[in-house]
A and B are shown apart, each in its own frame.
Chain A
């Protein structure tokens, strides 16, 4: 099968590769680029652990073709912090103990990034409804909700 050329930006870095058409985005990120922060679990788009952003929109990278990021921008959990400083969402997850084993955390953080870009000051109901498609097996949902709401406040205070 013919490989397909992909020119993309991942976390702000220009990348050009040739990939097999059947390669998924998560395989590309983990195996080609070594970005292992993105995890994989259900492979059915129902658990949310593999969430990354493509052109700032959330996607399940386990069910998205790598060839489809050609000409687009990808943001993974590795690209959320900047200048060696955690993103306010990441810091809020730590402060609220919003993670236990940590496996679902990259997905929850990426979903929170997408939500707060779309709705900067969500209600608790909006957060719950947006994160409905993400599963935490340690069931720390309450602290995750608190972390996202607090992060929204922190981001608002930080913006000029």
Chain B
């Protein structure tokens, strides 16, 4: 068995204490499902870990103004089972129910998924399609930005040192939406979200094949061309496939997604 490098462990009682403790060398963690693996493989060597999953205000789901608010440490399983999430964004529980395996879903969080920004994510893709925002807190205050701007590239976000993701905000929608993914291993090779907006326009978000989810907008369903998207989207070849293979799979999954969307509309 390999051993984790040593570190101090902190368990702040509230967000204020957590914001005092966080720094580049002293990251926060919730489920630890990504962080502990990165530490074991020697990629990260923090001097302390700050446990934020026992901070009550981060672990709740509610409604604020018009948005559904998912706290920064809410697990995939908790969000999947929540009636507020189901009624405001019915597509989300369907996607979360197929993230990783039941152990990852029981303790892994949506916040941790976004902050780690592993490109092979379903969560970022579907949240961008839902036009969700994240709220970040630091000692200097709070700011809110779209998930689309938060995820910058592989393992890179707009989060500054000293910031904690406190919530994910989703505007409720009844728009027809479909998410389809293809995967042969633990994580998706490609994930595609398609949403038919009220004005008849269409937004397609392609995730997991490139460094960050990529949105494509069309004025109507008739404008979409799967082959065109599959040719243009950024693709990074890796152990899950060559560029040619991934473009092919992207085109196939796009076709399935759009066919399903037509059935809904």
Contacts and interface: CB of A to CB of B under 8 A. Distances in A.
Contact of A22 (B4, B33, B100): B4
Interface residues of B, number: 26
B37 A44 contact: yes
Interface string A26-60: 11000000000000100111101001001001111
Contacts of A67: 9, 51
A2 B1 CA distance: 22
Given A65-B36, A68-B51, A60 B4 contact: no
B104 A40 contact: no
A77 B186 CA distance: 25
Given A130-B102, A132-B101, A22 B107 contact: no
A1 interface: yes
A8 B9 CA distance: 17
Interface residues of A, number: 34
B102 A22 contact: no
B82 to A, nearest CB: 15
B2 interface: yes
Contact of A45 (B6, B37, B49): B37
A59 B9 contact: no
A23 to B, nearest CB: 8
B37 A63 contact: yes
Interface of B: 1-9, 32-33, 36-37, 40, 49, 51, 53, 77, 100-104, 106-107, 186
A22 B103 contact: no
A64 interface: yes
Prevailing SS type, chain A contact patch: mixed
B101 A48 contact: yes
B7 A133 contact: no
Given A44-B37, A63-B32, A65-B32, A58 B102 contact: yes
Nearest first, the 9 closest Cβ-Cβ pairs linking A and B are: A133-B101, A21-B9, A22-B4, A57-B106, A1-B6, A63-B36, A22-B6, A60-B103, A58-B103
B107 A57 contact: yes
A132 B9 CA distance: 33
17 contacts: A1-B6, A1-B7, A21-B6, A21-B8, A22-B7, A24-B4, A45-B100, A45-B104, A51-B103, A57-B107, A58-B102, A59-B107, A63-B33, A63-B40, A64-B107, A130-B102, A132-B101
